[in-house]
Chain A
Amino acid sequence: MALSHLAASASRSSSLLKPLSSALSLRRSISGDNSPLTVETSVPFTSHQCEAPSRSVETNPKELLTFFRDMALMRRMEIAADSLYKAKLIRGFCHLYDGQEAVAVGMEAAITKKDCIITAYRDHCTFVSRGGTLLEVFAELMGRQAGCSKGKGGSMHFYKKDSNFYGGHGIVGAQVPLGCGLAFAQKYSKDETVTFALYGDGAANQGQLFEALNISALWDLPAILVCENNHYGMGTAEWRAAKSPAYYKRGDYVPGLKVDGMDALAVKQACKFAKEHALKNGPIILEMDTYRYHGHSMSDPGSTYRTRDEISGVRQERDPIERIRKLILSHDLATEKELKDVEKEVRKEVDDAIAQAKESPMPEPSELFTNVYAKGLGVESFGADRKEVAFLREAMHDYSFLQMEKSFYALSFIAQRSHSSVGTAHPVLIYPGLYWEDSFSTKKEEACA
């Protein structure tokens, strides 16, 4: 069933070319220009409760070359992450996005950084498309200070608030109501922007999704729910999990659009359409028909529930990078060698970022206790051995100490120096911004600042 529309698109590529400008005889530089180009999507859009947008997508050489480069970067990044995981430099969970790059790249092309994106745990590429750097990605995966969450989040918890990327969520489906909440806040603040809440075919059956959709439709929130249908929820194929795997129709009264998620231009067109729709009419569902080459995560070989033929079939027929490569070559926007050079550049970028990330140190031990709250208020955070904290607390009578640089080594030095007698307990924060509160006074002022 998953292979039903793996129709050979290679033969269609010749029919996709309808450039407006005829002066294409001169070779363009690899950076491309902005002269308009119209390309048809691989397949028409299928719609539910709305008029589908046109198959003809406006683009330009620069955009296509950017698509190529960005997707090649993402692909290389994910494959490198695979190697790092096998080398045990990445621990825990690692969910790779290779195969699905067109969704991240196409979406970004249709929106601005003021629009919000929220996704689940397969978030590395989405983070990069929102402006995250390779160093931040690899350092976070390896749990280092240079990571986007300073090593405290891990693979599933990438965030970039300044570009309105809200993560990075480990609980399947939870990001959908959160995304509708972002849309609510955008409407509340009158920002005229939208939120894209991404989820998979596995999450599409979650009850909270329908609760959030109901609220979004009731309150006309500018929420776009994007189902990245890669046809497998972990090891369960869509037809085994959903009575109706037509996810774009599952919104019932909410309109939906089915999109070829391996075609970055189709994704761009759909997201552009969805943004206009959501700002005027409230929520809409986009189903991106996509595919992941890796298993669900690094602990899943990905071949026990699907055949290797299927995987290689998709890679041959529908790979998003190959599609753009063929488009670029057939339009003479760059030579094969130039594209290969881009891939080499990108590979080097990735390797350099990994080397740099490996140099980044692990977080300071005192970071264990930071950011539990935005406003600590003299709260104690205990480590595994609470008595160790008790030692440190007694030593904190000396106010001048509090002005010192708060390194772990300074604290343990003080701990060794302190007495074991039981003194009066004063709570202190074991945060770098160490802070001692007098336990008997009622410090109303800073509490209510």
Chain B
Amino acid sequence: MLGIVRQKMLEQSLKKIPPAVSVLRSYSSAAKQMTIRDALNSALDEEMSADSKVFLMGEEVGEYQGAYKITKGLLDKYGPERVLDTPITEAGFTGVAVGAAYYGVKPVVEFMTFNFSMQAIDHIINSAAKTNYMSSGQISVPIVFRGPNGAAAGVGAQHSQCYAAWYASCPGLKVLAPYSSEDARGLLKAAIRDPDPVVFLENELLYGESFPVSDEVLDSSFCLPIGKAKIERKGKDVTIAAYSKMVGYALKAAETLEKDGIDAEVINLRSIRPLDRSMINASVRKTNRLVTVEEAFPQHGVGAEICASIVEESFAYLDAPVERIAGADVPMPYAANLERMAVPQVEDIVRAAKRTCYRSESREIDSQHCGGRS
């Protein structure tokens, strides 16, 4: 029954994929386009081909071709010994995967969404993240936990939470959040090759989006470093730091801001843990203003951590308080208008950026975005 419910949600959310972001990027030549879905699929394929110890495990990853078709074709190619359909028992199969990683094989575990990872979180934190430390380096855990994270469209409160901050607070884990296809390919490959447990946070609504990819990205040895952010758009007036889908929103906001004479620098965090503090700080020391953007709940979130990092290291460089744009502090509602209010929109990022620049719009009360008190 759960399978049917999840399938219906998949169909609903597939209908709501927003149009592809059309922002000019300064990638190297070659205009080949690739969807995130294909980027992830090709990364999995290449890594499984290169290393026979890599195998996939998760609900519907095999015969169903993947709940979101990320693992399409892999069962046919690698067989049921390496692409394993699990029963709907997250605690059990995650524990099994971590135990396998202790022995030295390399599981890539799919959570249908990271909301379900909460059933297995003890194994992610206590069995995977901490073991290399507790065993003083005897037992490393080369495992990847991947799946869609954060809000989708109309899936309600139990299926919309972003777990970046939760996992990123834990030493021993690495947490990655790709945005573009280049990110998806490079970071997933890095994650699979990495000897530590990696939480790989994808975004369901980005799966169908296309991004240009260069030949270098398409090469099977392509890999991005973990712990390094990327400057998606250079600017000098305000830094906007975001991850995953919000990078696209930040880039759109930057376009809008440009028309008002504000030159925004957009940082794609790529890596939530380790956080690329040095790049963010260097950027803020240049622009003197910062807006952090995330879809997640604001309290104790990624934006809060970035703000703390700036205050600790670059306080003297700030010309305005750090602005934090995040999801609303409520469980995700279902009604479309309320859902829209519960996640950041481009206008929110623009408004926050203007506040840091002390533009007059900052005091306007937008009727659609009044801050309610619960």
Residues on A with C-beta less than 8 A from B136 are 149-153, 370-371
- Our pick among A166, A214, A381, A426 for the contact of B89 (Cβ within 8 Å) is A214
Interface residues of B in 76-125 (CB under 8 A from A): 81, 84, 86-87, 89, 91-105, 122-123
A binding-site residues for B, Cβ under 8 Å: 116, 118, 149-153, 157, 159-161, 166-171, 174, 176-186, 188-189, 207-208, 210-212, 214-215, 218-219, 370-375, 377-381, 386-387, 390, 422, 424-427, 439-440, 442-444, 446-448
Cβ-closest 8 pairs across A and B: A181-B99, A177-B95, A211-B92, A447-B225, A448-B223, A439-B278, A185-B103, A178-B99
Residues on A with C-beta less than 8 A from B100 are 181-182, 184-185, 188
- Our pick among B102, B123, B282, B312 for the contact of A440 (Cβ within 8 Å) is B282
Contact A422:B316 (CB < 8 A) given known A116-B103, A185-B103, A377-B225: yes
Docked pose: A119 CA to B342 CA in angstroms: 45
Contact A211:B226 (CB < 8 A) given known A177-B123, A422-B313, A425-B277: no
Contact A188:B134 (CB < 8 A) given known A182-B100, A442-B228, A444-B225: no
Docked pose: A200 CA to B94 CA in angstroms: 21
The smallest C-beta distance from A172 to any residue of chain B, in angstroms, reads 10
Residues on A with C-beta less than 8 A from B277 are 380, 425, 427
Docked pose: A185 CA to B196 CA in angstroms: 17
The smallest C-beta distance from A88 to any residue of chain B, in angstroms, reads 23
Closest to B97 in A: A181
Closest to A164 in B: B103
Q: Would B227 and A379 count as touching, CB distance under 8 A? A: yes
- Our pick among B87, B137, B314 for the contact of A371 (Cβ within 8 Å) is B137
Contact A425:B92 (CB < 8 A) given known A152-B133, A174-B122, A185-B104: no
Contact A372:B171 (CB < 8 A) given known A177-B95, A180-B96, A181-B103: yes
The smallest C-beta distance from B262 to any residue of chain A, in angstroms, reads 24
The smallest C-beta distance from B121 to any residue of chain A, in angstroms, reads 11
Residues on A with C-beta less than 8 A from B72 are none
Docked pose: A188 CA to B52 CA in angstroms: 10
Q: Would A181 and B96 count as touching, CB distance under 8 A? A: yes
Q: List 26 A-B contacts (CB under 8 A).
A: A149-B134, A149-B135, A152-B133, A176-B95, A181-B103, A185-B101, A189-B104, A208-B89, A210-B92, A370-B136, A371-B132, A371-B133, A371-B136, A372-B172, A387-B312, A422-B314, A422-B316, A425-B282, A427-B278, A439-B278, A440-B282, A442-B225, A442-B228, A443-B228, A447-B225, A447-B227
| B34 at the A interface (CB under 8 A) | no
B binding-site residues for A, Cβ under 8 Å: 55, 81, 84, 86-87, 89, 91-105, 122-123, 126-127, 131-140, 142, 171-172, 174, 189-190, 193-196, 221, 223-228, 274, 276-279, 281-282, 312-314, 316
The smallest C-beta distance from A116 to any residue of chain B, in angstroms, reads 7
Interface centre among A424, A426, A446 (most CB of B within 10 A): A424
Q: Would B134 and A373 count as touching, CB distance under 8 A? A: no
Residues on A with C-beta less than 8 A from B313 are 390, 422, 425
- Our pick among A149, A169, A440 for the contact of B138 (Cβ within 8 Å) is A149
Docked pose: A161 CA to B313 CA in angstroms: 41
Q: Would A211 and B312 count as touching, CB distance under 8 A? A: no
Q: Would A159 and B138 count as touching, CB distance under 8 A? A: yes
Docked pose: A181 CA to B97 CA in angstroms: 6
Docked pose: A177 CA to B89 CA in angstroms: 11
Closest to B103 in A: A185
- Our pick among A174, A375, A386, A443 for the contact of B126 (Cβ within 8 Å) is A174
Q: Would A214 and B87 count as touching, CB distance under 8 A? A: yes
Contact A177:B94 (CB < 8 A) given known A214-B89, A377-B226: yes
Q: Would B279 and A439 count as touching, CB distance under 8 A? A: yes
The smallest C-beta distance from B343 to any residue of chain A, in angstroms, reads 30
